[in-house]
Every structure is written in C-alpha cells, then in structure tokens.
Chain A
Amino acid sequence: MAKPTYELADKLDKATLVKMYRQLQLMRRFEERCAQQYALQKIAGFCHLYIGQEAVAVGTEAAINPDDYMISAYRDHAQILGRGTPAGPVMAELFGKATGVAKGKGGSMHLYDVSRHFYGGWGIVGGQIPLALGTAYASKYRGDKRVTVCYFGEAAVNQGAFHEALNMAALWKVPAIFICENNRYGMGTPIEVSSAVVDVYKRAAAYDIPGVWADGMDTLAMYDAVKKAADRARAGEGPTLLEARTYRYRGHSMSDPAVYRTRDEVDTERENDPIPKMRAYVLAKKAAKEKELDEIDEAIEVEVEESIKFSEDSPWPDGSELYTEVYVDPMGHGETK
C-alpha cells in the first residue's frame, strides 16, 4: 500500500511531528490509567474515555494557535492535555483533589484551563455549541483573529442547539470550526438509528457553509482538514462544519460494557489505530529514530505514573471550599458576606 500523502501535513517540521506523536501517546497512556484508576475507585462519577479518537485532538491542536479558543463536551481529558495542561492537575481533578484544574469541583466532565484557552468541559449534549458560537462571536466583535474550535459528538447534531448555533455562526460569519467527532454511537444508539442523514458533514448545506469530512483515525488527515478550516475562519470567511470519522474503543463511559457492537467491529477499527500510523510516518520522514520514540514512550509512562502519584498525595478540597465560587460577588454590591 502506498504511503498516504498529505497536502499540508507533509510540510510539517520534524519537531512538530515528534510532538504530535508524543501527544498521541500521552493521551492514550493517560486514559488507560484512568480506566485502571476508575476500576480502583480512585476516579468516581461519569468518566468518558477518548481512547481511539486521539488523532482528532492531536491533528486539531497542531493546526490551530495556542491562543485559539477550544470548547468541548464531557469527553475532554485528551483535549485539555493536547492544550498543554500538565497531566498532574488533570488527573488530580479526576480524583477530585484540591490540586485539580478545578480544585475538585468539576471532575472528569468539567475540565478548564483558561491560561491555555481551554474553556471546558460541558456535560449537556450539544450545550457547548452555542457557547462556542459566543466565544467566536467575541473574537469577531474584538477583531482579535482568534478562532474557536468546538468539539461535539455525532449525537449532538440532533439537538436544536446545534442548528440554532450553526445558523447564527453562518449568518454572522464567525471564526469557528465545528468539529463533529463521529464515533458512530450516541451512548449505545448507532447513528443509523438516530439520524435521518448519517453523513454529518452534509448538514452544513442547510446553512450554506463548507461541510467536509476527514479520517478521524489519521492524525495528519485531521491536521489538513482543520488547518484549511482555521485559515478560512481567520481570514474572515466564516465557519466550517468538519466531520471527523473516528471510533472509540471503549464504551460510552466507564459504566458501559458496549455490548451493542461486536468484538469483530471493534477489532477491525483497532487495526486502523492512529498511533502506529503516526509512528510509521515519523520514522519514514526521519523525524526521529526508533530509539527516540521508544524513549518518548517510556518518558510518558513515567509522566502518567507521576500524575497518579501527585493525585494520590494531594489533599481533598477543604470543607471551606463548599461555598466559595458560587458567585464572583455573592451579595451583589461589592461586599462579601
């Protein structure tokens, strides 16, 4: 099979390619340990793993600027790591510890890092799409040339919020990229059962904006697609609906054994895994040697292990935190109670 070529990603420098490989591995290893820590009851509540979908987050991150806005749903661990937030405070948040990114008040579904322009972490399907319209609107209002990336699953496109937001995004030509991570199942319901139109990108036609799809199991194909959409948005030409065709290997959440699909289907998808693909590309491009990639793999094992140790050793939030941060100004007139 001929090596795939990429219109834009083929021009990426070696350091970026190695960084992308590193991010893929970090996301994968981090979440494998999340599953383990969940089983050990160190992580509680709902915990939605991204394993299998990493090409989407990594390809996207490489194609946008660090100060672009990023907004996601509740399957958000990998994306905040992609922004560069250290693994320790992310894992600590999943543990509910005071050192977490949200001091233990948000948990797995509600991760934030404003310093790295990661704006959540939202728990209601589709609810984050109007928010992304809002941050993109703010960019247009200020003329700051920042782009908003909004992630959501294929089940979210059946919410009114998606359609209302895309209409206004198109109407006002805001700089947004709406990335639908189509992993083919909304919890356990296949897209064929929930959607009259299964090619999600085609829904862009309703708002007369570009609708494209990309291989969401291929990091560099994602890079190409997002880069084009980002350039377009930054040039003031408006939003894009980008369907990333991907697959999650695990259930919808940790409590889902995923009996609604066959082992054959999952095994077939696993053969298409983004990480070996990226590794082969890095080696073919001579961006790094086998040994260097092995060293990265080992370093990531250590980094993730340390994030668990950091979380274990961190204190629970103090009881005094219960009533803080409900309001910026609790009494409403500049005095605190």
Chain B
Amino acid sequence: MRELTFRDALNEALDEELGRDPDTFLMGEEVGAYNGAYKVSRGLLDKYGPRRVIDSPISELGFCGLGVGAAMAGLKPIIEVMTWNFAILAMDQIVNTAAKMHYMSAGELSCPIVFRGPNGAAHSLAAQHSQWFEAQYAYFPGLKVIVPGTPADAKGLLKSAIRDPDPCIFMESETMYAWKGMVPDGEYTVPIGKGEIKREGTDCTIVAWGKALKIALDGAELLAKEGISVEVVDPRTIRPLDEAMIVGSVQKTGACVVLEEGWPYFNVGAQISDIVQRACFDILDSPVIRVTGADVPMPYAKTLEALARPDEHSVVAGVKTALNVRS
C-alpha cells in the first residue's frame, strides 16, 4: 500500500487500462496538451500519443455521441466531461442512445463506454457549476452509476468501469482530487455493484457515497465521543445498488440515516429510504432520516453556501433524530 491522491489514483487507472487494451482511448476537453482541466490525465498524451488521448472541441453532445458510436463499433472509449454540469448538453446521447441501444436492438448492439468527470459542488462556483447528478443517471435503466469515495475505490472502480460491457457514468469531485488515501500496490479492481462497510458500528447505519462519505465518517467520529456507535456503509455504485449490504447493516443497527450533498426531492436517498423501510419495517424504531443539501440552486457567497451544504454536524443531528436522542 502507498498513499496517493484521488487524482493520481485515477491517473494510474487510466494509464494502466490504456496500456492494457489498445481499443481504449481517452477523449475530452483539455485532456491532452493541457493534461486535463483537473490534471487527472497528466502525462497520458506524452505516453500514448494523440491517437489515444484526444483533445475535443467544446461540443459535449458531439463528442459524447462520437464515443457512443465508437463503442457501438467495438472500441472502448473513455469520455471525460469537464464537469457533469456540462454533460447536460450530452443527455440525448447518454440517455437516448447509450442507455437504450442494447435493449432496443435486443442485444445486437452494446455500448462499452465510460463517461467520467467531477460531480457536485466545489467551493464558490455558484449555481451552474455546483450540481449533483447521480440520481438523474441512476434513474435510467441501461446506465451504471459509480461514485467512489476513496482513492483506492476510485482506481479499482475506474478500471472495472473501463472493462465493463455497459455504459458507465463515473463521478468524481473537484475538491476530492487532492485528497489522499492508501491505495493497494499492483493490479487490482473493485467490483461494480458491491458496496463496502467503511466503519463498523452498532447503533445506527449511515449510508453515504462519494464526497459525502468523508462527512459521514467525520460525523461518526463526533458521535463516538458521545458514546454513539455508527456504522458507515458506502454503496460505491448507485446503480446497480448493493441493497443487501445496506439492508444487512440496518437490520443489525435498527436505525438508518442517508446522507447526500444533493437536493432532497427525488434523490438517491429517497430510493434508499424506500428500500430500507420495506425491508426493515419491523426493525426500525424511527423513520429513515435523510440529510441533504438545501433545496435551492447553490448560492455563491461563502456564508450562504455553507448553509446550503450538509456537514458533520448535520450528520450528528440526523443520527440523533433517528435514535430519538435529544441533542
């Protein structure tokens, strides 16, 4: 094991998979000469050349569609979207084409492609650059949605996504790129569709993924000081979702909080709450509690932005509500 940043873990995954499979190529805005808007593709143009690492024009619909067409023809494109906010322009290709072709053609066609880039809010980027999209993509049958929360998971899951035969939505985060974590040496992958218990506990389950995982773990640490033992479970992929892991944890703890930074209405937490209340109805002593961002477009001012985002204290409050503990 060695310590790597999230950015370097992703870079290793790209490097290893580009080296492993000549049918893979990386395309996106600034991925080549600029080394990536967030430097995830640093050094890859030099190593693999302009045939494999391609700078695209600012044409999200066009180059995402190019990737889908190339995947349909048997290549394994990795398409970087500079942020998921911009991929809204490519929704037709991701949703109407990539997600549907295997089914509409009854298996004649398939679409082994990865769309990857940062999701969610960074800091003070205001409303158009601070949005969460995992619920949107997970809504569509035909897509897989992967949201890693640690450098080790990011590397292993990106490698799995690149090898996967279906279209994968892979979500990173601007602020996480510099985060560090221990990453295994040598070749490994992390399976899509399998979650991981990131902290064991007995009193309450917190479900969290992506950047919210750290908030959950920080909250769990604060709660431990008050004698409350929290289990933090990370599904790692939103679709397919490791329902068994989540349900198993709640059956053990008897209480559940779902944490996400995105908006409360119709989000991933809503779906998880539905799964948990149906599977654990007899065990729960209180409703599933959802801790989310505020239901507003993200404001610019630091003070307002802080109010719009959940933090470890929101997690503490959520767990206490779930456990009927007075704050």
User: B19 near A: Cβ within 8 Å?
Assistant: no
The 8 Å CB contact of B69, one of A112, A135, A333, is: A135
Q: Mark A192-213, 1 if CB is under 8 A from B, else 0.
A: 0000000000000000000000
The residues in B between 64 and 78 inclusive whose CB is less than 8 angstroms from any CB of A are 64-75
Among residues of A, the one whose C-beta sits closest to the C-beta of B107 is A325
The complex places the Cα of A165 from the Cα of B70 at a distance, in Å, of: 13
Among residues of B, the one whose C-beta sits closest to the C-beta of A107 is B104
| Min CB gap A335→B, angstroms | 9
Q: A167-B62, A171-B57, A331-B240 are in contact. Are A124 and B92 (CB under 8 A)?
A: yes
User: A132 near B: Cβ within 8 Å?
Assistant: yes
User: A130 near B: Cβ within 8 Å?
Assistant: yes
User: B144 near A: Cβ within 8 Å?
Assistant: yes
The complex places the Cα of A121 from the Cα of B103 at a distance, in Å, of: 13
The complex places the Cα of A48 from the Cα of B260 at a distance, in Å, of: 45
The complex places the Cα of A114 from the Cα of B164 at a distance, in Å, of: 21
User: B96 near A: Cβ within 8 Å?
Assistant: yes
Please tell me which stretch of B147-155, B186-194, B204-212, B246-254 contacts chain A, meaning at least 4 of its Cβ atoms lie within 8 angstroms of it.
B186-194
Interface residue tally of chain A, by bracket? Answer: 35 or more
The complex places the Cα of A119 from the Cα of B112 at a distance, in Å, of: 15
Q: A102-B104, A327-B166, A329-B166 are in contact. Are A130 and B69 (CB under 8 A)?
A: yes
Q: Mark A89-130, 1 if CB is under 8 A from B, else 0.
A: 000000000000111111000101110000111111001011
Among residues of B, the one whose C-beta sits closest to the C-beta of A131 is B69
User: A134 near B: Cβ within 8 Å?
Assistant: yes
| Min CB gap A77→B, angstroms | 16
**Interface majority SS on A: helix, strand, loop or mixed?**
mixed
The residues in B between 89 and 136 inclusive whose CB is less than 8 angstroms from any CB of A are 92-93, 96-97, 101-110, 112
User: A164 near B: Cβ within 8 Å?
Assistant: yes
Among residues of A, the one whose C-beta sits closest to the C-beta of B67 is A134
Q: Which chain B residues lie closer than 8 Å to A329 at the CB level?
A: 164-166
Q: A138-B69, A332-B192, A333-B194 are in contact. Are A160 and B61 (CB under 8 A)?
A: yes
The complex places the Cα of A327 from the Cα of B112 at a distance, in Å, of: 10
User: B56 near A: Cβ within 8 Å?
Assistant: yes
User: A127-B92, A127-B97, A326-B141 are known contacts; what are 10 more A-B pairs with Cβ within 8 Å?
Assistant: A69-B73, A71-B69, A101-B108, A112-B104, A130-B61, A135-B70, A171-B57, A325-B102, A328-B165, A329-B165
The chain A residues found within 8 Å of chain B, CB to CB, are: 69, 71, 101-106, 110, 112-114, 119-124, 127, 129-139, 141, 160-161, 164-165, 167-168, 171, 321, 324-333
Q: Which chain A residues lie closer than 8 Å to B66 at the CB level?
A: 130, 133-134, 137, 165, 168
Tell me whether A112 and B57 are in contact (CB under 8 A).
Answer: no
Tell me whether A133 and B65 are in contact (CB under 8 A).
Answer: yes
The complex places the Cα of A103 from the Cα of B107 at a distance, in Å, of: 9
Q: Which chain A residues lie closer than 8 Å to B107 at the CB level?
A: 324-325
Tell me whether A137 and B70 are in contact (CB under 8 A).
Answer: yes
Interface residue tally of chain B, by bracket? Answer: 35 or more
Tell me whether A325 and B103 are in contact (CB under 8 A).
Answer: yes
User: B25 near A: Cβ within 8 Å?
Assistant: yes
The complex places the Cα of A297 from the Cα of B245 at a distance, in Å, of: 65
Q: Which chain B residues lie closer than 8 Å to A124 at the CB level?
A: 92, 96-97
The complex places the Cα of A28 from the Cα of B8 at a distance, in Å, of: 59
User: B51 near A: Cβ within 8 Å?
Assistant: yes
The residues in B between 272 and 308 inclusive whose CB is less than 8 angstroms from any CB of A are none
Q: Which chain B residues lie closer than 8 Å to A135 at the CB level?
A: 69-70, 72-73
Among residues of A, the one whose C-beta sits closest to the C-beta of B106 is A103
Tell me whether A122 and B106 are in contact (CB under 8 A).
Answer: no
Q: Which chain A residues lie closer than 8 Å to B240 at the CB level?
A: 330-332
| Min CB gap B247→A, angstroms | 16
Among residues of A, the one whose C-beta sits closest to the C-beta of B90 is A130
The residues in B between 178 and 234 inclusive whose CB is less than 8 angstroms from any CB of A are 191-194
Q: Which chain A residues lie closer than 8 Å to B61 at the CB level?
A: 130, 160-161, 164
The 8 Å CB contact of B57, one of A101, A106, A167, is: A167
User: B6 near A: Cβ within 8 Å?
Assistant: no
The complex places the Cα of A330 from the Cα of B239 at a distance, in Å, of: 10
User: B137 near A: Cβ within 8 Å?
Assistant: no
| Min CB gap A156→B, angstroms | 12
Q: Which chain B residues lie closer than 8 Å to A105 at the CB level?
A: 103-106
The 8 Å CB contact of A112, one of B51, B105, B192, B194, is: B105
